Structure 1
Amino acid sequence: MNININSLSQKYSVRKLDENDVDIIYDMSCKNDIFYQYHLPFVTRESILDDMAALPP
């Protein structure tokens, strides 16, 4: 199933995240202490890349 990502929002710019976004994702995620207190393991750059590879595009 192909989704036209550009059609997901008329208000916001939407794009697919890729390896170039890992540092931004990590910086946002690692500050969420309460989430990772209950949802181990703590996020790493490697775990973000693993999730990107494991999840459907």
Structure 2
Amino acid sequence: MKYCFSPIGYVRTNKTDEEVRSSISGVDGEIEILEEYSRGLVGIEEFSHVIVVSCL
């Protein structure tokens, strides 16, 4: 089975890839959503959790 996906944004952090991979508790960062997908975030503050799928 093959899956293809395109990014709708980017996760930004000041940590290196190695620091991110080796972190047990996670690292702080920011999520930057591309402008054309920003409408999909309307009302997001009503939710308690967001699932982020990221590839390094």
TM superposition score normalised by structure 2: 0.26
Bigger fraction of residues in strand: 2
Q: TM-score, normalised by structure 1?
A: 0.26
By relative contact order (CA 8 Å, sep 6+), the higher-ranking structure is 2
Give the helix-richer structure, 1 or 2. Answer: 1
